[in-house]
Amino acid sequence: MRIRGPRQRVCLPRGFRFSCGLAGIKASGRPDLALAEAPQGAAAAAVFTRNRAAAAPVLVGRARLVLSRGRLRAVLVNSGNANAGNGPAGVRAAETCCAALARQLGVAPGSVLPSSTGIIGVPFPAQKVVAAVPGLAEGLRSGEPALRAFGRAIMTTDLRPKLASASFSRNGRRVCVAGVVKGAGMIQPDMATMLAYIFTDVAAAPSALRRLLKPAVDASFNAISVDSDTSTNDTVLLLASGASGADLAGVQGPFSEALRGVCRSLAEQVVRDGEGARHLVRLQVRGAASAAEASTAARSVANSPLVKTAWAGCDPNWGRILAALGKAAFPFDPARASIAIGPHRVFAKGRALAFDRKAAHRLMQRPEYSIRVDLGRGRAELEFLTCDLTHEYIRINAEYST
Amino acid sequence: MRIRGPRQRVCLPRGFRFSCGLAGIKASGRPDLALAEAPQGAAAAAVFTRNRAAAAPVLVGRARLVLSRGRLRAVLVNSGNANAGNGPAGVRAAETCCAALARQLGVAPGSVLPSSTGIIGVPFPAQKVVAAVPGLAEGLRSGEPALRAFGRAIMTTDLRPKLASASFSRNGRRVCVAGVVKGAGMIQPDMATMLAYIFTDVAAAPSALRRLLKPAVDASFNAISVDSDTSTNDTVLLLASGASGADLAGVQGPFSEALRGVCRSLAEQVVRDGEGARHLVRLQVRGAASAAEASTAARSVANSPLVKTAWAGCDPNWGRILAALGKAAFPFDPARASIAIGPHRVFAKGRALAFDRKAAHRLMQRPEYSIRVDLGRGRAELEFLTCDLTHEYIRINAEYST
């Protein structure tokens, strides 16, 4: 199935409208509010952060998905303030904003899901958001430009808007899946990651969406890392309007494929836009004893500052990869392992191999390449996407809040 | 008990001689060999890396401590090549070097412990070391300058030599403990850390030394982190010559105190010299349910790239600390936790507190300050030493091998 990227025309799901606005939360004065609405309602499923300091909108969102039995009318997103670390006042602030929007749209307050990104521990300016709600509701539009504007409005340190879509037809009905995501730092996928919103016009029960969303997230947002940090606000939300008239039961195969493809594309766009990232590395772990072990091994390599700085220097110093595997929490055995940088086999069964260092260095100057690690312990495998650690990451993050 | 640092006169243990030399392993042409000898032998205890890709000298050293029943004559250290990832050839190379030195000193080959630091996965040039052995043995000297030269010869990316010593007297006998350490990057203390050599003239059985060394390492080298990376070569070696005439049984209290103090001072010197580090942060974790939980919490904060870059920017952005606690593998509850930056209480029981951001920013410009985290879950506590993540770390590690 063909997945369309941010530069291609979007396969636009019917049954949604989008808007964005300015509440003045950010000192920069950039747009900081975004709204997606399903005028006829939508079945919803979500994966939230497992961070135990989860932000107020995550706490409120989790509760609302249960209380509404997975039926939502709108999601209200802000940037500039994560509404995390604010205790009960944060929860009240999130509820206040959703209530104002619900009144404006004439829907039940519990059918609006809040979503926030930005600085942690700063009191949430609910009144600024409430004041912006009428304009936000008035600006609601369907169509590709409105979805693209929604995707841009949720950006923070992102350099590029991130968007993916796919479609398929069955029995004369066309089903579309389109998603946007924000995120460039604080990216470690031990769970849902960043803020991602995926819209589809398939008709489905919330429980069926949940069953499909979790494995799609595991194979995409949970198989990437920029910096090993896990946000308090990570959310992947899937909304299905049913407006295509196609029932999920009849199209589960192609829908699942479209959903996975869109998630995978969005996740890859996040790593490509990783803060300061200059190289996207496809870390292919094979020969693991289990899927969990493959993930443990991949993360130990992908999150090692020494490995990531070697990548920044285009340095085929595979010894740091070996050391990162050795420190991970599984019974790594160098005598059974092998490592290759692109086509260059550098280590096999406990021994260094002669290889062309200059050619490997040239390969690592490319914006994207693969590193293969075979653990020699079993049959599980995983492709994990990650990036290098550069001066630019330090610059962005040492200057963020003050 | 007073612990003397690198700028003070050393309390010099009797019964040791030191030497250093040049084998030509390093391209830079800097000294790359160091030798410590106990002419009358020494009881030995060591803590080695738990990295599963342990280097050849670690494998050989572990075996020799068992086979010799903890009696050593010498330790032969090289920098420039870690002799890791080299398979059986690496083990043979380490044995060849030790055998050459043993012949030169007229001692059993099994009484020489090898120790290496440097690049991983490059064949070890044993013949260069063997050729340098006669000069190395000839240069053996006792006295403070010789110990200081030994400490300098083991340096790699270290900016400063690191040395600590302490002494005490009982019944007219003076006992000295003196140690040196190298290490500035690849520092995560899930075990012994870096290369540290501690010499004492107390008379002790190896088993008694082992019992005292492990807790001293846990409270020092295992309570620091520079970059979360764990080397394949980490070693802390304690050698006791017995030349003071004082038996450990009679001085266990003060000896243990001296050993802990020396380990703690050396560990602190490592963090101060952390690659690119501009701020030493004393992370004081309290209210943990167990010692393991305190360590888990401390490491999650100390190893978070977002926390470390905020420190580099002197930014009192405590939300990143909260997020790092929330992602750690223990049941963190923000509603029971509190955070303080120096004297500034910034978060308590789930809520942000008003604080003087400018004063906190000024405090964080100091070369050293403390951050207190109370988890509100129990009575275990830990002081963990760590540092910020700066451009300089990237520069050092993106340029190291090529």
Is A164 inside any structural domain?
A: yes
Q: Indicate whether A169 and A60 sit together in one domain.
A: yes
Q: Is the pLDDT of residue B189 over 50?
A: no
pLDDT in tens, A147-158: 999 999 888 778
Average pLDDT on B53-62 reads 92
Q: Nearest-5° angle of CA B218, CA B328, CA A301? A: 80
Average pLDDT on A12-28 reads 92
CATH (domain of A359): 3.10.20.340
Cβ contact, residue pair A52, B85, below 8 Å: no
Q: Identify the pLDDT of residue B67.
A: 94
Q: Identify the pLDDT of residue A256.
A: 93
**pLDDT-derived band of residue A192, with 50, 70 and 90 as boundaries?**
very low
Share of chain A above pLDDT 90, in %: 64
Q: Identify the pLDDT of residue B397.
A: 77
Q: Is the pLDDT of residue A191 over 80?
A: no
Q: Is the pLDDT of residue B239 over 70?
A: yes
Is A22 inside any structural domain?
A: yes
Q: Is the pLDDT of residue A376 over 60?
A: yes
Is A9 inside any structural domain?
A: no
Top mean pLDDT of A128-142, B27-41, B111-125, B159-173 is at A128-142
Q: Any alpha helices (H) in A108-192, and if so which ranges?
A: 126-138, 144-153
Q: Indicate whether B191 and B134 sit together in one domain.
A: yes
Q: Identify the pLDDT of residue A236.
A: 81
Share of chain A above pLDDT 70, in %: 95
Whole-number Å distance between alpha carbons of A320 and A64: 46
Q: Identify the pLDDT of residue B240.
A: 94
Which has the closest alpha carbon to B87: A342, A252, A175, A353?
Answer: A353
- For all residues of chain A together, what is the average pLDDT? 89
Q: Is the pLDDT of residue A97 over 90?
A: yes
Share of chain B above pLDDT 70, in %: 95
Which of A86, A320, A333 is facing B120, going by the closest CB pair? A320
Q: Which of A221, A237, A272 is the last residue of a domain?
A: A272
Q: Indicate whether A261 and A306 sit together in one domain.
A: no
Nearest chain B Cα distance for residue A194, angstroms: 13
Is A76 inside any structural domain?
A: yes
**pLDDT-derived band of residue B374, with 50, 70 and 90 as boundaries?**
very high
Top mean pLDDT of A231-245, B55-69, B180-194 is at B55-69
Q: Is the pLDDT of residue A49 over 60?
A: yes
Which has the closest alpha carbon to B21: B107, B120, B72, B97?
Answer: B97
Q: Is the pLDDT of residue B402 over 50?
A: no
Helix axes A305-312, A319-327, angle to 10 degrees: 160
- Residue B173: strand pairing partners: B170
Q: Indicate whether A37 and A137 sit together in one domain.
A: yes
pLDDT in tens, A343-368: 999 999 888 999 999 999 999 999 99
Q: Identify the pLDDT of residue B50.
A: 81
Q: Any alpha helices (H) in B109-169, and if so which ranges?
A: 126-138, 144-153
Cβ contact, residue pair B332, A53, below 8 Å: yes
Chain A residues in contact with B339 (beta carbon < 8 A): none
Q: Indicate whether B218 and B301 sit together in one domain.
A: no
Nearest chain A Cα distance for residue B1, angstroms: 36
Q: Identify the pLDDT of residue B235.
A: 81
Share of chain B above pLDDT 90, in %: 64
Q: Identify the pLDDT of residue B29.
A: 81
Which chain A residue has the Cα nearest residue B120?
A319
What does the radius of gyration of chain A's CA atoms come to, in whole angstroms? 22
Nearest chain A Cα distance for residue B22, angstroms: 24
Q: Identify the pLDDT of residue B173.
A: 93
Cβ contact, residue pair B52, A332, below 8 Å: yes
Which chain B residue has the Cα nearest residue A185?
B306
Residues of B assigned a catalytic role:
193
**pLDDT-derived band of residue B229, with 50, 70 and 90 as boundaries?**
low
Cβ contact, residue pair A229, B306, below 8 Å: yes
Q: Is the pLDDT of residue B327 over 50?
A: yes
Cβ contact, residue pair B398, A310, below 8 Å: yes
Q: Which of A244, A272, A300 is the last residue of a domain?
A: A272
Which chain B residue has the Cα nearest residue A55?
B323
Q: Identify the pLDDT of residue B120.
A: 84
Higher-confidence position of A183 and A48: A48
Task: Report the helix count and the strand count for chain B, using DSSP H and E.
Answer: 11, 15
Q: Which residues of B248-261 are buried (b: 16+ CB within 10 A; e: fewer)?
A: beebeebbbbbbbb
Average pLDDT on B95-109 reads 97
Q: Indicate whether A130 and A51 sit together in one domain.
A: yes
Which has the closest alpha carbon to A364: A293, A282, A267?
Answer: A282
Q: Which of A168-177, A298-307, B183-192 has the lowest mean pLDDT?
A: B183-192
In this structure, are residues A388 and A303 in contact, taking their beta carbons and an 8 Å threshold?
no
Chain B residues in contact with A306 (beta carbon < 8 A): 185-186, 227, 229, 397
Q: Which of B272, B299, B329 is the last residue of a domain?
A: B272
As for the ipTM of the complex, it is 0.76
Whole-number Å distance between alpha carbons of A290 and A292: 5
3-state secondary structure of B227: coil
Alpha carbon B350 to its chain's center: 37
Q: Identify the pLDDT of residue B338.
A: 96
Q: Is the pLDDT of residue B319 over 70?
A: yes
Helix axes B391-398, A391-398, angle to 10 degrees: 170
Average pLDDT on A163-169 reads 93
Nearest chain A Cα distance for residue B177, angstroms: 31
Q: A123 CB contacts (<8 Å, ≥6 apart)? A: A86, A89, A93, B352
CATH (domain of A256): 3.60.70.12
- Residue A285: strand pairing partners: A373, A382
Which residue range(s) make up the domain with A284?
Answer: 280-398
Is B285 inside any structural domain?
A: yes
Q: Is the pLDDT of residue B289 over 90?
A: yes
3-state secondary structure of B67: helix
In this structure, are residues A12 and A147 in contact, taking their beta carbons and an 8 Å threshold?
yes
> pTM value?
0.80
Which chain A residue has the Cα nearest residue B304?
A229
Which chain B residue has the Cα nearest residue A393?
B309
Q: Is the pLDDT of residue A402 over 60?
A: no
Is B377 inside any structural domain?
A: yes
**pLDDT-derived band of residue B275, with 50, 70 and 90 as boundaries?**
confident
Q: Indicate whether A236 and A339 sit together in one domain.
A: no
Is B83 inside any structural domain?
A: yes
Instruction: Give me the count of residues in chain A.
Output: 402
Average pLDDT on B287-301 reads 93
Pull the structure tokens for residue A35.
């709204």
Cβ contact, residue pair A322, B121, below 8 Å: yes
Is A383 inside any structural domain?
A: yes
Average pLDDT on A174-201 reads 73
Q: Indicate whether B74 and B179 sit together in one domain.
A: yes
Whole-number Å distance between alpha carbons of A34 and A154: 7
Domain count for chain A? 2
Which has the closest alpha carbon to B78: B21, B32, B110?
Answer: B32
Whole-number Å distance between alpha carbons of B371 and B284: 6
Q: Indicate whether A259 and A299 sit together in one domain.
A: no
Q: Indicate whether A166 and A190 sit together in one domain.
A: yes
Q: Indicate whether A245 and A294 sit together in one domain.
A: no
Q: Indicate whether B236 and B120 sit together in one domain.
A: yes
Cβ contact, residue pair B84, A122, below 8 Å: no
Chain B residues in contact with A317 (beta carbon < 8 A): 119-121, 400-402
Q: Is the pLDDT of residue A189 over 50?
A: no
pLDDT in tens, B114-165: 999 888 888 999 999 999 999 999 999 999 999 999 999 888 778 889 899 9
Q: Is the pLDDT of residue A279 over 60?
A: yes
Chain A residues in contact with B229 (beta carbon < 8 A): 304-306, 320, 323-324, 327
